[in-house]
Chain A
Amino acid sequence: MRKVVKSLFAVVMSMSLITGCSSGNSSSTNNAAQGANSSGKTELSFYYPVAVGGPLTKIVDGMAEEFNKENPDIKVKPVYTGSYQDTTTKVQAAVQGKTPPDVAVMLSTELHTMMDMDAILPLDDFIAKDGGSEYVNDFFPGFLANSQVDGKTYSIPFQRSTIVLYYNKDAFKEVGLDPEKPPTSWDELVQYAAKLKKDGRYGVEIPSSSFTYWMFQALALQNGKNLMSEDGKKVFLDTPENVEALQFWVDLSKKHQVMPEGVNEWATVPSDFLEGKTAMMFHTTGNLTNVKKSAKFDFGVAFLPAKKNYGSPTGGGNFYMFKGTDEKKQAAAWKFIRFMTESKRAAQWSVDTGYVATRKSAYEEETMKQYVKDFPAAAVARDQLEYGHAELSTHNNGKVTKLLNDTLQSVITGQSEPAEALKKAQEEADKMLAPFNK
């Protein structure tokens, strides 16, 4: 008996040791949450992801360094947190551990999810104190569309993109097409692609992995309207227009045979384009700088072709701030967001990365003017923003997005028919969104 008691004692001892450690940890995090270290500086943790090629971490670190120099009382510590998905996971874990980062860049589509978790701060008070609507209204509406709910602003656009059509001008010349006249309608897209197709080269590629829903959303927008309601509580997947849009996508490979069959990998489509394996591609502007640097041929960038009208969803990441940090830190975090989204910095960021500058005034900056003059393709995405809409973002976003991706892939690989598959997806999605429509 005594043995048992003793061993229990040992276990209890070890447990108290553990809890001792953990309480020590939480007190130290509390100290950090006070917002000031011994030297009186406010320290900010800043999580950010990288989703496109190029030395982006260096650029971001440089910007943070510049901010620290301008604001000696604040110290921003940038933390590179992997892909968008990884970043969201890390932020989420931190929020649940009650130590949220002070500021983070996450997909603009995480908005509803973050609100359901009660994790993010509305930014209206900060905006009101600091330039008010003048500041916010300078951002392109297409980018703000994923930032606002019920008239409140929850995030500030930063590394934003949209889908454009890249095309190989040399290939156009080779088959007798005018390289200055890219296809403007679905019909033209098919005609041109058929002409451009030859042995070892397809006419067009639309990626169908990773961001399948995004590409579908572009087609849907061109054929009418967006896939979801503004409040993210409803989706409209099985409308006749959307069925037609999906049929068109399938027809490109099955009927017209101008696109490779099966799923086209998100990451290899740009390689196909650069290798001359496809003459045109739908892809994010986030790849613009990469294509510009690597293309060994003359290439052009154009609006996505229209059916009823032009259209593309926007995409990419925004700045978010989190609940549960103290006021001093919040003020500093806001200052940092303002700094990062200043017009001249947005312009430089766009030149360095290929992302679209998020503010209208950024295009008035000298750097941007010069850049657009030397490289007119850079302005295409901005001009297309007139037809830009919110990216698919709903409550229960992860599930709904996966459902749509799976459905689209099953149609693209020939396992099911557009009308039937979309109808089933609509029913499933309604179930997933039911708890939020009470």
Chain B
Amino acid sequence: MGELRAKWKVNMYAWLLLLPSLIFLLLFTFYPVIQTFILSFHQADLGSPEPFFNGIDNYKQMLEDEVFWKVLTNNIWFAIGTVPTSVALALAMALFANKALRGKSFIRTAYFYPTVVPMIAVANIWLFIYTPEYGALSHVMEWFGKGDMNWLGDQKNVMWAMIFMVIWKEAGYFMIFYLAGLQNISQELYESASMEGASSWTVFRRITFPLLMPTTMFVSIIAFTNSFKLVDHLVIMTKGGPDNASNLLLYYIYETAFSFWDQGMASALTIVMVVLLLLVAAFQFFGMDKKIHYN
């Protein structure tokens, strides 16, 4: 009996410690997720003030919605454009910042500062850079005698413009993880490599890169989810335009929910996005994880 009571005491103690976060988790994660799931099977828009069950109609409608497909395609291109490049750039920057003898902290700060600037301010800065005629980029183009380009006002350019900006913003943030990863690699490995006379490329290929794989995986998951979470820049810079050329999934969900007040459809879109992200994260975790060496 006494043993049981002691056990119970320990358990209760653990539960009490967990309680605060459990409450928040239930209240702000599980409850909304379940609600969203239920609502996604309801017609709940302006035309039907009382939501009613309509089965998978929302999902069917989504498949026929041209904008949905455009947004999804955009998002995939956006992910392909931003994730590998920003991760590779972060790694290069980290290697450089790690090695640099002079001005180490200056270089790190310079690389990291895009992450510190508020999103809205970043969007405004880049809005100015991309402005035709007198924007910063137009001035630079002028030096090279190139014609004026409407970066954000042209369907062909707008996605590139957004991708470039996001790489600039993200690379510095990911660099920090790589820096931490680099510091964790044992110096003995490098010493023995130099005793063997290995070239620096071999050292990178056989030691640094493999041992950084856990960081790479972590960073690429973050980068991938981020590429589906971009909203603030779109609001300020393009509103998803022209003609949805820069519209991404989460912004479309926002529009559907808060401009069209079609809550059923917004919920269905949300479920699609969550499932998509879970699939990719699962693939990265269970697929790639086996090939990663943890020291």
Contact = CB atoms under 8 A, between A and B. Distances in A.
Interface of A: 2-3, 6-7, 10-11, 14-15, 17-18, 85, 88-89, 92, 113, 116-118, 200, 208-210, 260-265, 268, 271-272, 275, 277, 395-396, 398-399, 402, 405-407, 409-410, 412-413, 415, 435-436
A92 B261 contact: yes
A323 to B, nearest CB: 13
A209 B45 CA distance: 26
B258 A410 contact: no
A402 B150 contact: no
25 contacts: A6-B12, A7-B11, A10-B16, A10-B19, A14-B23, A15-B26, A88-B258, A116-B49, A200-B133, A208-B242, A209-B241, A210-B239, A260-B133, A263-B150, A265-B152, A271-B131, A398-B259, A398-B260, A399-B260, A402-B255, A402-B259, A409-B243, A410-B242, A413-B154, A415-B155
Given A116-B47, A275-B134, A263 B241 contact: yes
A334 B154 CA distance: 47
- Majority secondary structure of chain A interface residues (helix, strand, loop or mixed): helix
Contacts of A11: 22
A113 B258 CA distance: 12
B260 to A, nearest CB: 4
B23, B133, B155, B238 pick with most chain A CB within 10 angstroms: B133
A10 B260 contact: no
B187 interface: no
B19 A396 contact: no
Interface residues of B, number: 41
Contacts of B241: 209, 263, 405-406, 409
A267 to B, nearest CB: 8
Contacts of B258: 85, 88-89, 92
Contacts, number: 118
A17 B23 contact: yes
A260 B132 contact: yes
A275 B132 CA distance: 13
Most buried by A among B26, B131, B134, B242: B242
Interface in B14-40: 15-16, 19, 22-23, 26-27
Nearest to B244: A406
Contacts of B45: 396
Contacts of A2: 4, 8
Contacts of A277: 133-134
Among A7, A117, A402, A435, the one with the most B-chain Cβ atoms within 10 Å of its Cβ is A402
Contacts of B12: 6, 10
B8 A6 contact: yes
A129 to B, nearest CB: 30
Contact of B242 (A85, A118, A260, A263): A263
